[in-house]
Every structure is written in C-alpha cells, then in structure tokens.
A and B are shown apart, each in its own frame.
Chain A
C-alpha cells in the first residue's frame, strides 16, 4: 500500500511540475504549485501510517502554509492584473524573463 501511495504522490507531483513548465496562465501555474504541495501531503500521510505522528503534524503545517501562500499569491496576481490587464506570463517582459 505504501509503495502505491508514494508512486501516486510522485505522479501527482510530476503533473504539477509539468503544468508549471508548460502552462502560461499565472493562475493555472499557481494551481499546479498547489497540486505539488498536495502531492507531498499525500506522501506524508502514507508515510505517517508506518512511521508515526510527525507526518500527520507536518500535513497540518503544510496546509496552513499553502493557505498563507495562496493569500499572498492571489494578491500579487490581482495587483499584476490591475497594472497589465492580463495574467498571461508571456506578456510580462519589462524585465527579461
């Protein structure tokens, strides 16, 4: 069961990585990053079954951190949209990407 969970977690994480690499919409990029974080949560839960409570505790911290990151990230995306009227990262080239 542990191996399957870890493989699933790895697959989800890779989907997130691929999404960040391929997609060009800032919101979708952010969703892919959230997917990566949740893939890690799955790994922690699966491992905690075998090892002990630390993994469960870690998941709560990761969820809190992800929420804080979402608040800041969405605020940044809103401020970007106000200035550029787009969230497509191909358009942000005042600084060379």
Chain B
C-alpha cells in the first residue's frame, strides 16, 4: 500500500501500532476502574493479560508496516526498517516487563492497575520519539514517554527510595527536556522548519547552509539527548534514579527508555544534520570517551549490584555513542544489533536483581549473591549468561555487538575510540565477573533465604538468556536485519536528491 501524507486517513495507517496501543491503554484504564470497585483487593491478572494482548497486537501491526511504501520520504512519520526494528525492541522490552511488574505488585501487595496503562503509554511515547521525522512529534513522544516513566519510578509511594528517585528523575528529566526544546526552537529559527528532511536540505551536505542559530540549536539538542541517554557528564541522575526505582521499572528504564532516546538521537543527527558531522562528530567523540572511561571506573567500587548495573548501563551508553560517532551504515547496523543485545541482557540482569532483592528490595549487596548458583540454579545460570554478555565474552550477543561497533569505528578511522572501548571492556570484566565469582565460588551464608522464582519470571529469564545466546550464535542473520534497517535510515537524505554523509 502506498502512503500519501496529503490524505488524513493515511496517518492512521502509518501509525497503526501506536493507535492500537493507545486504544488498549484507554480500554485497560476503564477496565481497571470498573474492576476495582470499592474492594481493596489487588488488581486482577486479567489486566496484565489484556496488556500482553495489546502489545502483541501492536507487534502484528508493526509487522504490517513493512508492506507500506512511502511515497514522499520526507513525510513527518518514518516508514522504514529502522522504525520497525526499534518498535519491536520497545514492544519486546514491555512484554518482558509484564511478568516482572506483576510479581512486584504481588510482592508489595499493591493494586496499581494503572501501571499497565502507563507502560502502554510510555511505549507509545517511545515509538513516536524514535519513529518520526518531525521535531514536534519527537518532542511530544519524548514527553509522553518521560511523564509516564516519572510516575512509574515513583510507583511505590510507601518507599522513600522510590519517591526520592522519582523526584530526582523528574527534576533532571524536565530540566533536560527544556534544553531539548530550546534546541528545537533555535533549529526552527535557523532553518524555518521542524521537519528533519527539510532541515537537512537547508543545512546542505557540506553544512554550508548552517548559521549560528542552527549550530547553537544542534548543541542544545545534543545536551538534551546526552541527558536522556545518560552520557557523562550528564549522567548524575542515572545511578540514583535506577537504584531507587522499583527494580522492574529500572529494567524498563535502562533497556527501553534508553533505547528510545538513542534511536531518536541517531535519527535526528544522522538524517537532520549529516552535513554538520564535522561539528557534532567531535562532540560525540569526547562524550563517548568520557562516558566509557568514567562509567567503568565508577562501577568498580560499587557494592550494591543494582547500582553497579546502573553504572554499567552508563558504560554501555558510551559504547553506543561510539557507534553513533561512526555515522555510517555499518555504524547504525552495529548500533541496532547492540541495542537488541543490550535490551535483552539488561532486562534479564535487573530481573535477577529483583529476584535476589525480593520484597522491599533490601538484599541488593554483593554478598547476597554468595552461592546463588547452587541455591537457585536457574537464576544462577541465566545471570551468568547476562553477565558474560554484558562483559562481552563470546559467543554472546554482547560480544558480537562490541565487535560490530569496533568494525564500524575502525572503518571510519577512529582508532582511539576503538582502543578505549577494548580497554574499558577489559576493566568491566572485573566488576561483572566478580558477581559471577560470588555466585559460584562463595559459600552461601548460613541464614541465606531461598529465592522464590515464579513461573512468569522464570519465563522472562529463560527467554532473555536464550535470546542473548541465540543472537550470539547466529549474529549474521540479526546483523543482516539491522543492516537493512540502517540502510533505510541512511538512505532518507539521499532520496531528497543529495548524497548521504
């Protein structure tokens, strides 16, 4: 089917997954209200199933997007492999989040059916954030996602850490959104449009059309994005927000929210400002360098595994920034592949953290992991897979992701970044493998309580671990898919009659 943005109806077709998810969100909101009535009983499981059906329906609609053809590649909503790929990623992360959050609600005896509504709305926000070519829609997607996730962070109103994390996340998130917005205003002033394709045309392939406003706006956009993806030195909210939020929400924030911010980051800079690569490539270079070195060093002394994984997620943002610095089809493909592996292993690792920490999340320390492998083999084995993948040991997805990023950046001549990436990965082996060492080679202390794993959570653990290994054993197929998405993204500027970067 050919899409023509002049027709209002066609907007519904291109936004099919978003429309499906929004309808489900509203329906679930009503179902929750009517189910609850005056009783104090917890939210019913049917809401979680309804949410799962909504996510699967959106995934089906997303598959159908592949049959659409874009008549005018400068339209406000992208129809390309990049959008389809990232949409699958967000839907998958939301699906993995469901059993974890259900377990959390049961453990804490909370009856917050609205959590599932917020989850769906946040996912819609991510899809708009990462899948549109119009800065206005990108901003609205960003805010829809952020506002929903602020509430999810503060979900446990009785927990002081959760409230504190929500406040810190909210204040710095809103602060960074303002920078982002000012950046949009300046770019709009400098180019006369908020459409990325038009901006690219005005700026030109060599950046000749860029004036002071465009350059300043682009810098502010970079600051806003750097906050959202938690690149050093804009990372100060991350460890606190990730440590204080309920662990399932942390998993979702670290995996999906960060993935959305990164996907939008790539789309804006690679399709809007490829002509100014000379300027922003340098910014990305230093951001990547600082993030990789700083985060890996700060992760070393952490005793809380949850906080260590928060720093590790910052470190991974550094590796992804290297892929962005490469700014080539290979780089974007490596980025997508790594994002896939990263989402799976992060969701899995935080799920294990929640299983160990259990009710009220008191057992976060490293010593709680002593002998875990022998006490709860399923948790131990899957956590080992996640840790090996996070560290980048073959044959896991994390290894091939780093390999693809290295290939892309070396091809662009960024040897310095490649060397730093390898060295910091070696440093990271210490803090990842230390957890594995505790799990398998330390005696459990006498009073260690059992780890009760529900069926839903086991399914999440097994599915993510299997997927991490699968994409590690067959990297070529997944990389091929990522390359198709990457080529579609990088092609857009060329279609408007100008050569790509």
Contact = CB atoms under 8 A, between A and B. Distances in A.
Chain A contact residues: over half helix, strand or loop, or mixed?
A: helix
Most-contacted residue by chain A among B164, B193, B239 (CB, 10 A): B164
Interface string A53-97: 011011001100100110011011101101110000100101111
A8 B137 CA distance: 26
B244 A20 contact: no
Most-contacted residue by chain B among A68, A73, A75, A76 (CB, 10 A): A76
Contacts of A55: 188
Interface of A: 6, 9, 13, 16, 20, 26, 29-30, 33, 36-37, 39-40, 43-44, 47, 51-52, 54-55, 57-58, 61-62, 65, 68-69, 72-73, 75-77, 79-80, 82-84, 89, 92, 94-97
Given A54-B193, A72-B151, A39 B182 contact: yes
A8 to B, nearest CB: 13
B174 interface: yes
Q: How large is the interface on B (under 10, 10 to 19, 20 to 34, 35 or more residues)?
A: 35 or more
A61 B136 contact: yes
Chain B contact residues: over half helix, strand or loop, or mixed?
A: helix
Nearest to B135: A58
Interface of B: 136, 139-140, 143, 147, 150-151, 154, 157-158, 160-161, 163-168, 170-171, 174-175, 177-178, 181-182, 184-186, 188-189, 192-194, 236, 239-240, 243-244
A34 B283 CA distance: 28
A30 B181 CA distance: 16
Nearest to B241: A95
A65 B170 contact: no
Contacts of A75: 151
Nearest to B178: A36
A97 B164 CA distance: 10
Contacts of A77: 167
Most-contacted residue by chain B among A55, A61, A62 (CB, 10 A): A62
Contact of A16 (B151, B163, B178): B178
Contacts, number: 117
B189 A51 contact: yes
Contact of B178 (A37, A73, A92): A37
B143 A68 contact: yes
A57 B150 CA distance: 26
A47 B185 contact: yes
Given A43-B189, A61-B139, A69-B143, A92 B167 contact: yes
A76 B194 contact: no
B54 to A, nearest CB: 22
Nearest to B174: A33
Given A37-B181, A40-B182, A58-B194, A79 B163 contact: yes
B154 A84 contact: no
Nearest to B169: A76
A54 B164 CA distance: 38
Contact of B188 (A20, A29, A44): A44
Given A13-B182, A37-B178, A69-B143, 12 more contacts: A26-B171, A39-B182, A40-B181, A40-B182, A43-B182, A58-B185, A68-B147, A69-B147, A72-B147, A76-B163, A92-B164, A97-B236
Given A43-B185, A69-B147, A76-B150, A54 B136 contact: yes
